[in-house]
Amino acid sequence: MTVFFLSDSKNEAKKLLLRVLDMIIPKNKITVIKNAGELEYHLRKQLHDNIIAVLVPANRSELTDIIALKNIFGDIPIILIIPDRENDTIALGYKLRPRFITYADSDFLDVAAVLMKMKNKMEDKEGAYER
């Protein structure tokens, strides 16, 4: 399993979210991505099995850049942390069909719970294939 973590910002929210990810996912399974172009590269390079995308666009423009890639996400589960609570931004975010959406000013406890569920589900699926 791999987590694609897209966040260009260097703010406290990114640091907090990275700490949450580190508690749940081994560091060597987290790919930190800085922009939509880099995300596209990784999405095209890897098979889509066992990938979770945690996307933290810094602003609406960056969110729009990510949405332009929605056709290459396939069935990758997405956790989206949107930059603001504006109705237009929320509507844009739903175009990605995320499994979970929250806000950048959150404490990310909900993200931890959702990520843990996704991880356990993927591990159960991997275990079923090995039998």
Sequential DSSP letters for the chain: -EEEEEE---SHHHHHHHHHHHHHS-GGGEEEE-SHHHHHHHHHHS-STTEEEEEE-SSHHHHHHHHTTGGG-TT--EEEEES---HHHHHHHHTT--SEEEETTS-SHHHHHHHHHHHHHHHHHHHHHH-
Q: Can you give the CATH number for the domain in which 67 is found?
A: 3.40.50.2300
pLDDT tens across the length of the chain (131 residues): 899 999 987 777 788 898 999 999 999 999 999 999 999 999 998 776 789 999 999 899 999 999 999 999 988 999 999 999 999 999 999 999 999 999 988 889 999 999 999 999 988 876 655 54
Number of domains making up the chain: 1
Please report where in the chains the tokens 């237009």 appear, as a residue. 88
Domain span holding position 102: 2-130
